[in-house]
């Protein structure tokens, strides 16, 4: 019970940051909305009366929005942790009864809140602007959202482990690392589009199954639960590895004195 | 005879080829204020950081409140606290928000009342709704000390607690700690360069040089041993290695 209280304390701490700064809220919503508008216009340009092309336009917007869920989830997780680094607060936190895994759970919670704040305006705006509703995916959208959120958290855990290990020099990973995965994640095209020799790598990522599943829902109105199960199993495997890497990195920082010296 | 609430035995820390702390041993009793004195790089902060569990010792043992902190440090973390100029509180949060978050982390009941009391005692009630990043260094120090006592710790670790305070505020803070220790029977480990402060507050002193304890005792016993009138002269004698 005390553990829940401590997790909640940190969520409150991160929520204060969002709540007290209007530019932060605006910034959260700005990029997903901007991306959606840009890709919506591209899709519209491609669209004519042909139904298939209209569907492709919808797939592009859905791809953009779902990819942004993954990106925002990872960014919300990593940036909230970086706030501790930038404010040289890690030492204070880890002298309190807070446990490393409680920190991770609070980062997951605030990442969920930040992602929701970021994505809802963009998803809603796509309805009047392009007559495309992400919500038409119904329950499957909830599954996709959950899986992508988990993948974002896992990437976030790897990134904060790297920051604890290498210090602020690794902070750029929070913004850039995820884009190295984009070409292999089959966001805008099916896995078959990739060269055969590299498909196995694409299929080892949980997010690939979400985007494959998304296309099946939009083209065939069919939710393929196999895709969802595969993505969740992969997420669980990667989550275990990520937590181990994080704890090893944390103990390494305790040996080197990194918890008190890491900061700007 | 009062019980030992800290027992440090043969504590050492080596960073690659540099021995930051070598074979340090000492005890701390309930309600005692122990000063750690030494020049920059003597190993004071490294020792305190190991006692807090933020740094793993290379060898040696630390028992706090009868708990071996290498095995179960989380058991005692809600009973200790610290303040140091080397760590900050989040700058974008107000003083009240910071104290509220830390109050929750320490599981404090009736947090708002506690914040009011601490702010009143350390004279920062007027700063409660100001962001920490907008405070002067002296104000930040007082707020950090407020955070350090919010859980009424049994042991308090203070690293240069009055370094950035004007003489008047520094004196008030020292008075606050004297009173706090008496009313809560809190023990304090105090690392400081301020000899007046150490002489006034500490019932025992550890002198460190190059990571080792060179001497320890009560301020009076050290003055007598080295034939000096001021602790500063004892400090200089040890730091400069004069015989």
Residue B150, number of CB atoms within 10 A of its CB: 22
| CB nearest B88 (choices: A10, A20, A89) | A89
Tell me whether residues A6 and B105 touch, CB distance under 8 A: yes
Q: pLDDT tens digits, residue range B135-177? A: 988 899 899 999 999 999 999 999 888 887 888 888 888 898 8
Decide: helix, strand or coil at residue B221.
Answer: helix
pLDDT of residue A43: 65
Q: pLDDT tens digits, residue range A171-197? A: 889 888 899 999 999 998 999 999 999
Please compute the mean of the pLDDT values over residues A194-212 and round it to a whole number.
95
On chain A, the residues whose CB falls within 8 A of the CB of B147 are: 92
- Cα–Cα distances in Å, from B1 out to B30, B31, B35, B93, B155? 10, 12, 20, 44, 18
CB B87 within 8 A of CB A89: yes
Question: What's the whole-model pTM score?
Answer: 0.88
On chain B, the residues whose CB falls within 8 A of the CB of A84 are: 90
- The DSSP-derived string for B90-128 is -TTSBHHHHHHHHHHHTT-SSHHHHHHHHHHHTT-GGGT
The separation between CA B41 and the C-alpha centre of its own chain, rounded to angstroms, equals 17
In whole angstroms, give the CA distance from residue B227 to residue B116: 47
pLDDT of residue A164: 93
**How near does any CA of chain A get to the CA of B176, in Å?**
22
Percent of chain A with pLDDT over 90: 49
- Check whether B128 has a pLDDT greater than 50: yes
- Cα–Cα distances in Å, from A25 out to A21, A32, A85, A116? 7, 12, 21, 11
In whole angstroms, give the CA distance from residue A149 to residue A69: 7
Nearest to A228 by CA among A246, A205, A247, A209: A209
pLDDT of residue B131: 95
- Minimum Cα–Cα distance from B91: chain A residue: A87
Q: pLDDT tens digits, residue range B19-77? A: 999 999 999 999 999 999 988 888 998 999 999 999 999 999 999 999 999 888 999 99
Q: pLDDT tens digits, residue range B189-202? A: 999 888 888 888 99
pLDDT bracket for residue B85 (50, 70, 90): confident
Q: pLDDT tens digits, residue range B99-112? A: 999 999 999 999 99
Q: Is A222 on the interface with B (CB under 8 A)?
A: no
CB A107 within 8 A of CB A80: yes
In whole angstroms, give the CA distance from residue A193 to residue B168: 73
Tell me whether residues A97 and B107 touch, CB distance under 8 A: yes
In whole angstroms, give the CA distance from residue A188 to residue A155: 21
pLDDT of residue B243: 46
On chain B, the residues whose CB falls within 8 A of the CB of A21 are: 92
A257, A259, A263: which to substitute to probe chain B, counting the most B Cβ within 10 Å?
A: A257
Interface of A with B in 70-109 (CB under 8 A): 83-84, 87-99
B104, B134, B191: which to substitute to probe chain A, counting the most A Cβ within 10 Å?
A: B104
Tell me whether residues B100 and A12 touch, CB distance under 8 A: yes
Percent of chain A with pLDDT over 70: 92
The domains found in chain B, sorted by start residue, are 4-87+147-239 (3.40.50.300)
- Check whether A49 has a pLDDT greater than 70: no
pLDDT of residue B192: 86
B18: left (phi over 0), alpha (psi -120 to 50) or beta: beta
Extract the runs of DSSP E, i.e. beta strands, from chain B.
4-15, 18-29, 33-38, 59-64, 67-68, 80-83, 155-159, 187-191, 204-209, 212-217
On chain A, the residues whose CB falls within 8 A of the CB of B101 are: 9-10, 12-13, 16
Size of interface A-B (CB pairs under 8 A): 99
Tell me whether residues A5 and B56 touch, CB distance under 8 A: no
Return the H-helix or E-strand segment holding A63. Answer: helix A51-86
Q: Is A252 on the interface with B (CB under 8 A)?
A: no
| CB nearest B89 (choices: A8, A89, A99) | A89
pLDDT of residue A111: 95
Please compute the mean of the pLDDT values over residues A4-20 and round it to a whole number.
90
| CB nearest B92 (choices: A17, A96, A260) | A17
Tell me whether residues B91 and A87 touch, CB distance under 8 A: yes
Angle, vertex CA A10, rays to CA A9 and CA A15, nearest 5: 100
Angle, vertex CA A211, rays to CA A205 and CA A217, nearest 5: 145
Tell me whether residues B77 and A259 touch, CB distance under 8 A: no
pLDDT of residue A55: 66
B84: left (phi over 0), alpha (psi -120 to 50) or beta: beta
Interface predicted TM-score (ipTM): 0.87
Q: List the end-to-end C-alpha distance of chain B, in Å, as a whole number.
A: 35
Query: When comparing pLDDT for A179 and A238, which is higher?
Result: A238
Q: What is the mean pLDDT of chain A?
A: 87
The separation between CA A228 and the C-alpha centre of its own chain, rounded to angstroms, equals 16
Question: Residues of B at the A interface (Cβ-Cβ below 8 Å)?
Answer: 15, 46, 49, 52-56, 74, 77-78, 80-82, 84, 86-93, 97, 100-102, 104-107, 147
In whole angstroms, give the CA distance from residue A54 to residue A170: 42
Tell me whether residues B87 and A16 touch, CB distance under 8 A: no
pLDDT of residue A263: 52
B101, B102, B157: which to substitute to probe chain A, counting the most A Cβ within 10 Å?
A: B101
B155-159 vs B187-191, strand pairing mode:
parallel
On chain A, the residues whose CB falls within 8 A of the CB of B69 are: none
pLDDT bracket for residue A262 (50, 70, 90): low
CB B143 within 8 A of CB B98: yes
DSSP label at A181?
Answer: T
**How near does any CA of chain B get to the CA of A184, in Å?**
38
CB B20 within 8 A of CB B188: no
Label residues A187-220 b or e (16+ Cβ within 10 Å = b).
bbeebeebeeeebeebbebbbbbbbbbbbbbbee
- Check whether B1 has a pLDDT greater than 70: no
B155-159 vs B18-29, strand pairing mode:
unpaired
> Which residues does residue B27 pair with via DSSP β-bridges, in sequence order?
B7
CB-based contacts of B122, cutoff 8 Å, min separation 6:
B142, B143, B145, B146, B173, B176
């Amino acid at each position: 019970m005390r553990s829940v209280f401590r997790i909640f304390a940190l969520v409150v701490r991160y929520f204060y940051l969002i709540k007290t700064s209007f530019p932060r809220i605006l910034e959260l919503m700005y990029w997903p909305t901007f991306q959606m508008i840009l890709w919506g216009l591209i899709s519209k340009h491609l669209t004519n009366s042909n139904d298939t092309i209209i569907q492709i336009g919808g797939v592009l917007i859905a791809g953009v929005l779902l990819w942004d869920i993954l990106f925002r989830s990872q960014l919300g997780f990593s940036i909230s942790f970086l706030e501790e680094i930038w404010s040289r607060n890690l030492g204070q936190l880890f002298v309190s009864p807070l446990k490393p895994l409680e920190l991770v759970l609070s980062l997951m919670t605030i990442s969920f809140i930040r992602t929701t704040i970021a994505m809802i305006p963009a998803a809603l705006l796509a309805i009047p602007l392009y007559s495309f509703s992400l919500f038409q995916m119904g329950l499957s959208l909830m599954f996709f959202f959950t899986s992508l959120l988990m993948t974002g958290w896992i990437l976030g855990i790897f990134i904060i482990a790297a920051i604890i290990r290498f210090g602020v020099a690794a902070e750029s990973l929070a913004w850039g690392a995820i884009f190295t995965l984009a070409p292999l994640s089959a966001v805008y095209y099916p896995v078959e589009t990739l060269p055969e020799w590299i498909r196995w790598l694409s299929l080892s990522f949980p997010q690939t199954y979400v985007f494959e599943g998304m296309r099946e829902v939009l083209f065939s109105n069919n939710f393929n639960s196999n895709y969802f199960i595969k993505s969740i199993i992969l997420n669980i495997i990667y989550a275990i590895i990520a937590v181990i890497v994080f704890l090893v990195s944390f103990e390494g920082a305790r040996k080197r004195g990194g918890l008190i010296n890491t900061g700007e | 005879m009062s019980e030992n609430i800290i027992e440090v035995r043969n504590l050492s820390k080596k960073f690659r080829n540099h021995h930051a702390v070598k074979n340090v041993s000492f005890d701390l009793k309930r309600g005692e204020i122990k000063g750690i004195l030494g020049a920059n790089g003597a190993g004071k902060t490294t020792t305190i950081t190991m006692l807090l569990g933020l740094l793993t010792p290379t060898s040696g043992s630390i028992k706090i409140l009868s708990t071996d902190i290498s095995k179960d440090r989380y058991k005692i973390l809600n009973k200790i606290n610290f303040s140091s100029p080397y760590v900050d509180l989040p700058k974008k949060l107000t003083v009240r928000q910071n104290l509220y978050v830390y109050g929750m982390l320490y599981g404090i009941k009736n947090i708002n009342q506690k914040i009011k009391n601490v702010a009143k005692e350390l004279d920062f009630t007027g700063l409660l709704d100001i962001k920490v990043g907008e405070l002067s260094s002296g104000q930040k120090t007082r707020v950090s000390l407020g955070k350090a006592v919010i859980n009424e710790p049994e042991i308090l670790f203070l690293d240069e607690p009055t370094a950035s305070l004007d003489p008047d505020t520094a004196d008030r803070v020292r008075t606050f700690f004297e009173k706090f220790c008496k009313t809560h029977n809190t023990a304090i480990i105090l690392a400081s360069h301020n000899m007046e402060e150490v002489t006034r507050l500490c019932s025992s002193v550890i002198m460190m040089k190059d990571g080792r304890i060179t001497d320890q005792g009560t301020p009076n016993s050290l003055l007598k041993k080295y034939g000096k009138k001021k602790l500063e002269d004892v400090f200089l004698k040890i730091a400069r290695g004069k015989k």
